[in-house]
Amino acid sequence: MRRALTRPFAISRGVRTHADTLVVTLVDAAGRCGRGEAVPYARLSESMDDPLSALAALPETLPDDLDFADIAALSRLKSLRTALDCALHDLRARQEGRAVWQRLSLPRPKATMTASTISLDTPEAMAAQAAEQAGQPLLKIKLGGPDGAEGDLARLAAVRRAAPRARLIVDANEGWAVRDLKPLLEACADHGVEMVEQPLPAGEDAALAEMKRPVPVIADEAVHDVHDLPHIAGLYDGVNVKLDKAGGLTPALALARAARDEGLSVMIGCMLASSLAMAPAFLLAPFAQWVDLDGPLWIAEDEEPRMRIESGIISPPSAALWGRADAPDAAATGQAEGP
């Protein structure tokens, strides 16, 4: 599905005007439906044609007892696995009359703060974006501009001037050079930035081991699932957990738990996608120091009923969207264990 964006979205790797998302629906014999949405991740060399071709090659009828552990064997593609995993969670909730958070022994979802993204642009344009969102509690600044450290220092200062009271986090999307890392991290600290995502290209981040980090550095592109955690030991202070990188809610939950057990900070992030993709990711918020699920705000025509995001606060999805049983009181019953 091609979803137009409300405005161009720019990061260090380029500019996007639309989001291509894969939506999978699983239907059981009783007509109950489970849905899941994912984004083919170019960073994993996936395009929309890949999961569509793989989906067409699957049997039209899957086993009634399909298990989450079986999904990884159905395809190597993370996008298809993510959509199938999330659709199966939705379907099982509707079949069993229990919400996904109950089935997974997670805390009952509640409204939480989400970052609001400032797209990469000139310092002046980013200051204008920040001024428009100055009332938002948490701003995420995209850096890694083509003009190098000098340009990013100007962007950072401009955003801080425009939003002096907002909490700030930075995402460089692998766009910084090792030689610029020290002054850029120091400038982030000076401007009160709480953390920096993936400043160096994944695989070129050994310099982090020998560098004092005045703000926490979070791995994004360097960590996809739990198997990547040993490779970042000593390099990063936390991980950005995304369902599309991990292959669905099931492996993303495993990553969040493992990262926490390793003493790493956790961020819950997203791709440019609709509320249908945010709903399962929202369940991981209790693990996170930072939640970044503002993707639907960039989508011109979001799924309905959409997730409500107002003044930087995102609320739980409705039963009609994803992950909750159809019974009106299903989400209010039962006790859940902590994460």
Beta strands in 160-251 (DSSP E): 167-171, 193-197, 217-219, 238-241
Structure tokens at 202: 């994944």
Quote the CA–CA distance of 79 and 23 in Å, as a whole number: 10
What are the phi and psi torsion angles at 321 (to 5°)? -85, -55
Set 110, 142, 212, 245: catalytic member = 142
Question: Which residues is 264 bridged to in the sheet?
Answer: none
Amino acid at residue number 22: L
Q: Encoding tokens for residue 186?
A: 């120091």
The end-to-end CA distance of the chain, in Å, is: 33
- State yes or no: is 242 an active-site residue: yes
Cα dist. 266→201, 245, 262 in Å?
20, 15, 11
Rounded CA separation 23/185 (Å): 39
Assigned token pair, 119: 């797209």
Active site residue 140: no
The SS3 of residue 15 is strand
Paired tokens of 200: 């160096």
- Catalytic-labelled residue, pool 78, 140, 242, 245: 242
Question: Active-site residue numbers?
Answer: 142, 242
